[in-house]
Structure 1
Amino acid sequence: MPPIRLRPRAGSFLSCLVLLSCLAVPAGAEMRGHGGPVRALAVTADGTRAISGSFDQSAILWSVEAGTADQVLRFHEGAVNAVAILPGGRFATGGEDGRIAVWQPGAAAPIRVFAEHAGPVVGLAVSPDGLALASASWDGTARLRPLAGGEVVAFEGHKGNVNAVAFLSDGRLVSAGYDATLRIWARPGEGDPPRIVTLPSPLNTVAVAPDGEIVAAGADATLRILRPDTTLRAELELAPNPIIAVALSPDGARIAAATIGGAVAIVERASARPVFNLVGPGLPVWSLAFRSEAELVTGGGDRLIRRWDMRNGAPIGSLAMARPHDELARFAGEPGAEVFRACAACHSLTPEGGNRAGPTLSGVFGRRIATAEGYRFSEALKKLDIVWNADTIARLFEVGPSRYTPGTKMPEQTVNSAADRAALVRFLEKATRTP
């Protein structure tokens, strides 16, 4: 049978949109605590606890019903991009620093650390038998490690970033990459080459249903459902924004697909038809996890974790629709503020803004590199002899972070115009001045 191809008509979701005004948020409706976008989410099988990872370099263990943070975990040097629930009440976090940490609730430090990857870890998955942990990394590999100890297996072949991993029920690993390939790997020791499926677009995310169907999505905003033999069964375009996360309900009946534009589509897998859309404040939804067939949990660019009723698409509790405060609004019209806007997701300007994916820039002029309070810097940065001032900040953006500050986790970027660099420096000198 040929694949089903669906493209929703404009406005076809309108009768199901959730449009609520800003109201006071009761306990348990939203989980607040991260200082940056919520990049990763996982929920325990009984639905009582969740673990989240954020661009603010922390992971938080939550009591879902109460909406309270039980424990804040700081270990990674960079964003926490991936989390997973492990057997025995443990959980795992994967970071921009290439490390994977295994945690026991209540412990202040990881009970085990894996450091085989040479690039950021962006995806984690636990094998069906609970004995192994797989990871996806921007070093171009997926890796599989026995949780009880033993040889770590590297799966190599993707040309570029590996963005996601998942397991088939028989224990074989599925990986999805920026090279637009989906790869199904033989179990360690079997020696067979991977089955490679090339799709039309770079892939950001993958999930596997209980019956073996594979759901994949990525840059072309299209959700694809593959049969267990990897032939395409259906595709659904969720234009215009790239899909950055998918999750399957525990029974596999529904797919949640999140876009960088902030919408979340709930799709009936059997028919590949949309059921309803969840609508938030219009910021990226980076992470999804079903708490049960009846409830979805989402993490977004507004730093909040929200709960949604899957019977009707309504938020559980009131939904705060306001976008986060724009701290650049008071600098409207200033050229340097517009240059800085690309940096605002990772850096705050004021003490109350705190550390995000990068340290706060409050008081940065005259501060030695890698000394901002409360931020975990790499050892390489701590060894550099740089004091931030007009000249050094301008130089940073002239030659780029990787050349000027080797060892940084800061995304590579330059400001090519000397006038724009000067405007940025003038703006930062004023905006970061402490009282």
Structure 2
Amino acid sequence: MNAPLGGGDPTDIHRRIAAALADLVTDTPGVPPHPYLSRHLAQHAARGQVLDDVHVPPALLAWDTSASVRRLLHGQDAPHQRQEWLQTWAALEPFARDITPASRLTSLHLAHHAATCRRTPASAPAARAAELSGSRVTALWSDCSPPDNVWSITDTAVTSLAAVTTPGEGALVSGDDHGVVRMWRKDGTAAATPLNMHEGAVTHLLPLSPGRLATAGTDGTVAVLDIHHNRRLATVHRRARTWVTSLALYRPPRAPHVLLAAHSDGYIAVLDAETYRPVDLPLPSRDNAPVLLAIVHQRDDAPLLLCAQGETISVFDGRATFIHARQGSRVRALAALPEPGRYAVGDDAGNLTLYDTARPSREAVRAAVPPGDALSRLSAVTVDGQPLLLSASTDGTVRRWNTTTALPVGDPLRGHTAAINAMALLPGQTGTRLITAGADHTLRSWLLAAETARPPRPRWRPVTAAALAGTPAPEPPPFFAVASGATTRLFNIRTGDQWTLWKDSGVTALTWIQNDAQLLLAAAMSDNSIRLTDPAGPKGSAGTRHLTGHYAPVLALETVPLPDRTILASASGDGSVRLWDLETEQALAVFDDHKFSVRALASAQTSDGPLLASGGSDGNARLWDPLRRTPHRDAIRCAQYNVNALAFVPAASGAATAQLATAGQDGTVKVWDIRSGHPAKAVAHRDFGDGPLTAVTSFPHPGKRTVVAAAGRSAIHLWDVTLDVVLLQIAVGRSLSSLASRTDPRALGPATVITATGGAGTMVFRLDHELL
């Protein structure tokens, strides 16, 4: 920094500052940088238009405390070429806000490996280059879709969105399923204190006069919010025992604007948009069914009110009503299009139809929506002068349509892992952004102009099951089975070889069975059967056997070693647990004590001999004696709503297992004494604040300690049960369906291999105990 910085172009000054500061960043990510670097280096690079991996080195990212990297990337005029680490961190950043630097380093390492070394063996040079000093893990295998376009994450599910104008800039308002309304800045940060507006979910948000916003909810109430002062003005309408199904701002002929609030019983309230007093308007009578509203303008700018109820769409011109169209099933979404008199309709059957009020409904244009793509929201926008219709789906995707031809425009916008609840359009200097809110508790941002032009992304099919081969001496085989869609593949994670086992059926669970000298793969198939395959044996039906008996999908499989053989256990949505003899292919026992679906299984050698544990939607964990084929004890009532996963907790001292960990829908992991059925005497409860826990595993740690790893909505949490300390939180930005752990005999010191499986992919990594 010896060069003078006074005078000259401010951009050039910031560029030189960024270059000088980058030289001060240590090459060791585990060493904290100077606070000025962590606070300001990324900002200097952004202002100097050199926001790249050279000026903001990877060693700094996990320590960055500036305005977030992802917001700085969103604000740049044009992307740079060298942003591999920055883009990786930007995708992960919303999920890593409140974790330690060691956890952030580890999360960044795994995310970068997943982004750059897909299906690459750990011994390959690319994988070695991706190693990050300071990480607590060694990545062995990755095949994941990274978190995409995350704008913010929320504790509750956002159910409505609206763009509003505030002093100085635009903003976004959201309503959630708890009745809370929040204001957001354009960079995704909170702009004001949340307000409790409704006693149910906020179903609709509608900007009124400048500075005011109407809110409506499932409590049947319409309220008004003062945006500038972030305060509730009044409740202007209430209709008991109904919910508000639509809001609209309509101007009758030769009259001031009115606020329309449609209800689930077909009633439409009409309020003066300024005074909020009731107004008489000759609206048509409605059936006792929910109503959807939209406003379209004719060529002379005269407004028409659209009312959709059931399968029928009616048009009100201020004086009379006429039926314009009928769908084949109930109308689910209704939106006005930019062109005069035109509107779009989505129905329960998945149809998307474009109508013109000036033409007969038989001339409507229907879009070719993919089968099974249930529409949840519709919205219209003009991008670069081109009118577009946006459709959000229950599968978490957004599609764009030409409003004249109803043909698709570009590729679907994929990112959400659950249904999209709401959409809003946020204008900005770089173009219009689409903000979407999903049931996965994320808000995502899409720059529509850039999204239309950029090349298609690889399509990631949700992973439904995965299993890493077991641990026979002297070391485990490197086979990794992954089921995605109707295809099940086998990977060798040491060589990179892969081959397809079958591609004719979906799989809901996988496990490996070491039976004598034979290694078998057990797969739960979509036809409720269990397929046993020897990957090294003959191909085709000659090398495959089937176990049948369940009458609902099998949700979990587990091997149970007995003194003289290994048997297989299966848990099903039919509420039963079955034990299978692999030689005779017959069921040894059927346990149907669970009242609802059985979601999880685990087995272990305990002081009472081999035991099998099961957990299910009835909220109970049960223990079974596979030798005697009887229940081991009464049910453990876990009080966690659904028991989503469970694992036996190994004793670090080498003694036989005596504890069981359960992961619940309430977001807690609990540890139980399997003899008494009561919580373990040590600390036996932990809430990570990461939503429902969906997977759990456990392993011993040197020093007579035990670690439980549990997966929540966005991270893997490693909890030292003995000391009641959270050791590590690995942000992955997605929920996981399973976690598995095993000792790694190839490691130089004590280490555990973790296999993590989720809908967005799989990863395998080694955890070095000495680094915890």
Question: Same fold per TM (> 0.5)?
Answer: yes
- Which residue does the alignment assign to 1:110? 233
CA displacement, residues 32-67 of structure 1 (integer Å, 9 cap, x when unaligned): 364332211111368721111111221111112353
> Aligned pair in 2 of structure 1 residues 291, 159: CA closer, same or farther (>3 Å)?
same
Q: Distance in 1 between matches of 2:435 and 2:323?
A: 33
Q: Distance in 2 between matches of 1:80 and 1:168?
A: 25
Question: How far did residue 68 of structure 1 move?
Answer: 2.7
Which of 216, 235, 242 does residue 374 from structure 2 map onto? 242
- The answer to whether the Cα contact below 8 Å between 1:48 and 1:65 also exists between their aligned partners in 2 is no
Spell out the pairing of 1:7-46 with structure 2 (5 A cutoff).
23-25=91-93, 30-32=150-152, 34-44=154-164
Question: How far did residue 338 of structure 1 move?
Answer: 7.6
> Aligned pair in 2 of structure 1 residues 68, 243: CA closer, same or farther (>3 Å)?
same
Which of 64, 68, 71 does residue 190 from structure 2 map onto? 68
- For residue 183 of structure 1, what is the amino acid of its counterpart? S
Which of 281, 295, 300 does residue 167 from structure 1 map onto? 295
- The answer to whether the Cα contact below 8 Å between 2:417 and 2:440 also exists between their aligned partners in 1 is no
- The answer to whether the Cα contact below 8 Å between 2:161 and 2:422 also exists between their aligned partners in 1 is yes
CA displacement, residues 341-390 of structure 1 (integer Å, 9 cap, x when unaligned): 699xxx8455665999xxxxxxxxxxxxxxxxxxxxxxxxxxxxxxxxxx
- Which residue does the alignment assign to 1:209? 337
Spell out the pairing of 1:324-363 with structure 2 (5 A cutoff).
333-337=614-618, 348=666
> Aligned pair in 2 of structure 1 residues 41, 295: CA closer, same or farther (>3 Å)?
same
Q: Distance in 1 between matches of 2:426 and 2:170?
A: 8
- For residue 375 of structure 2, what is the amino acid of its counterpart? I
- Which residue does the alignment assign to 1:388? none
Question: How far did residue 158 of structure 1 move?
Answer: 4.2
- Which residue does the alignment assign to 2:477? none
Question: How far did residue 151 of structure 1 move?
Answer: 2.4
Question: How far did residue 128 of structure 1 move?
Answer: 6.2
- The answer to whether the Cα contact below 8 Å between 1:221 and 1:241 also exists between their aligned partners in 2 is yes
CA displacement, residues 136-183 of structure 1 (integer Å, 9 cap, x when unaligned): 321223333211233245745444532521112223321223x11112
Which of 357, 371, 378 does residue 228 from structure 1 map onto? 357
- Which residue does the alignment assign to 1:193? 321
Range with bigger deviation, 77-86 or 100-109: 100-109
- The answer to whether the Cα contact below 8 Å between 1:141 and 1:156 also exists between their aligned partners in 2 is no
Q: Distance in 1 between matches of 2:284 and 2:618?
A: 43
Question: How far did residue 302 of structure 1 move?
Answer: 1.3
Q: Distance in 1 between matches of 2:619 and 2:289?
A: 30
Any idea what SS the aligned residue of 1:100 has?
strand
Which of 377, 387, 400 does residue 266 from structure 1 map onto? 400
Q: Distance in 1 between matches of 2:643 and 2:325?
A: 35
- Which residue does the alignment assign to 1:124? 247
- For residue 41 of structure 1, what is the amino acid of its counterpart? L
- The answer to whether the Cα contact below 8 Å between 2:337 and 2:403 also exists between their aligned partners in 1 is no
> Aligned pair in 2 of structure 1 residues 102, 185: CA closer, same or farther (>3 Å)?
same
- For residue 438 of structure 2, what is the amino acid of its counterpart? G
Any idea what SS the aligned residue of 1:283 has?
coil
Q: Distance in 1 between matches of 2:347 and 2:200?
A: 24
- Which residue does the alignment assign to 1:93? 215
- Which residue does the alignment assign to 1:421? none
Q: Distance in 1 between matches of 2:88 and 2:153?
A: 22
- For residue 213 of structure 1, what is the amino acid of its counterpart? R
- Which residue does the alignment assign to 1:309? 447
Larger Rg: 2
Q: Distance in 2 between matches of 1:165 and 1:245?
A: 13
- For residue 24 of structure 1, what is the amino acid of its counterpart? L
Question: How far did residue 199 of structure 1 move?
Answer: 1.0
> Aligned pair in 2 of structure 1 residues 311, 273: CA closer, same or farther (>3 Å)?
same
Q: Distance in 2 between matches of 1:314 and 1:56?
A: 35
Structure 1: gaps (5+ residues): 1-19, 357-435
Range with bigger deviation, 329-338 or 292-301: 329-338
> Aligned pair in 2 of structure 1 residues 75, 355: CA closer, same or farther (>3 Å)?
farther
Q: Distance in 1 between matches of 2:619 and 2:401?
A: 38
- Which residue does the alignment assign to 2:413? 278
Percent identity between the two aligned chains: 19
Q: Distance in 2 between matches of 1:222 and 1:24?
A: 36
Any idea what SS the aligned residue of 1:148 has?
coil
- The answer to whether the Cα contact below 8 Å between 2:222 and 2:236 also exists between their aligned partners in 1 is yes
Structure 2: gaps (5+ residues): 1-86, 98-148, 455-459, 464-596, 602-613, 621-640, 645-664, 669-686, 693-772
Which of 175, 194, 203 does residue 53 from structure 1 map onto? 175
Q: Distance in 2 between matches of 1:24 and 1:194?
A: 52
Question: How far did residue 194 of structure 1 move?
Answer: 3.7
Question: How far did residue 287 of structure 1 move?
Answer: 1.0
Q: Select the structure with the greater relative contact order (CA < 8 A; seq sep ≥ 6).
A: 1
Any idea what SS the aligned residue of 2:408 has?
strand
> Aligned pair in 2 of structure 1 residues 279, 355: CA closer, same or farther (>3 Å)?
closer
Question: How far did residue 336 of structure 1 move?
Answer: 2.9
Q: Distance in 2 between matches of 1:247 and 1:262?
A: 15
Question: How far did residue 240 of structure 1 move?
Answer: 1.0
> Aligned pair in 2 of structure 1 residues 278, 71: CA closer, same or farther (>3 Å)?
same
Question: How far did residue 246 of structure 1 move?
Answer: 0.4
- Which residue does the alignment assign to 2:437? 299
Q: Distance in 2 between matches of 1:57 and 1:313?
A: 32
- For residue 264 of structure 1, what is the amino acid of its counterpart? V
Q: Distance in 2 between matches of 1:35 and 1:156?
A: 41
Question: How far did residue 299 of structure 1 move?
Answer: 0.9
- For residue 94 of structure 1, what is the amino acid of its counterpart? A
CA displacement, residues 307-350 of structure 1 (integer Å, 9 cap, x when unaligned): 1011242899xxxx999xxxx9996642335895699xxx8455
Q: Distance in 1 between matches of 2:193 and 2:598?
A: 34
Q: Distance in 1 between matches of 2:203 and 2:331?
A: 16
Q: Distance in 1 between matches of 2:305 and 2:287?
A: 17
Equivalenced residues, count: 322
Q: Distance in 2 between matches of 1:21 and 1:315?
A: 21
- The answer to whether the Cα contact below 8 Å between 1:331 and 1:337 also exists between their aligned partners in 2 is no
| TM-score using structure 1 length | 0.64
> Aligned pair in 2 of structure 1 residues 116, 342: CA closer, same or farther (>3 Å)?
farther
- Which residue does the alignment assign to 2:119? none
- Which residue does the alignment assign to 2:14? none
- The answer to whether the Cα contact below 8 Å between 2:165 and 2:210 also exists between their aligned partners in 1 is no
Identify, as 1 or 2, the structure richer in strand.
Answer: 2
- The answer to whether the Cα contact below 8 Å between 2:152 and 2:188 also exists between their aligned partners in 1 is no
> Aligned pair in 2 of structure 1 residues 353, 67: CA closer, same or farther (>3 Å)?
same
Q: Distance in 1 between matches of 2:152 and 2:330?
A: 32
- For residue 266 of structure 1, what is the amino acid of its counterpart? R
- For residue 301 of structure 1, what is the amino acid of its counterpart? A
The reply to whether residue 138 of structure 1 matches residue 256 of structure 2 is no
- For residue 355 of structure 2, what is the amino acid of its counterpart? L
> Aligned pair in 2 of structure 1 residues 335, 161: CA closer, same or farther (>3 Å)?
same
Q: Distance in 2 between matches of 1:255 and 1:166?
A: 15
- Which residue does the alignment assign to 1:375? none
- The answer to whether the Cα contact below 8 Å between 2:313 and 2:324 also exists between their aligned partners in 1 is yes
> Aligned pair in 2 of structure 1 residues 252, 181: CA closer, same or farther (>3 Å)?
farther
- For residue 88 of structure 1, what is the amino acid of its counterpart? P
- The answer to whether the Cα contact below 8 Å between 1:34 and 1:56 also exists between their aligned partners in 2 is no
- The answer to whether the Cα contact below 8 Å between 1:309 and 1:315 also exists between their aligned partners in 2 is no
Any idea what SS the aligned residue of 1:162 has?
coil
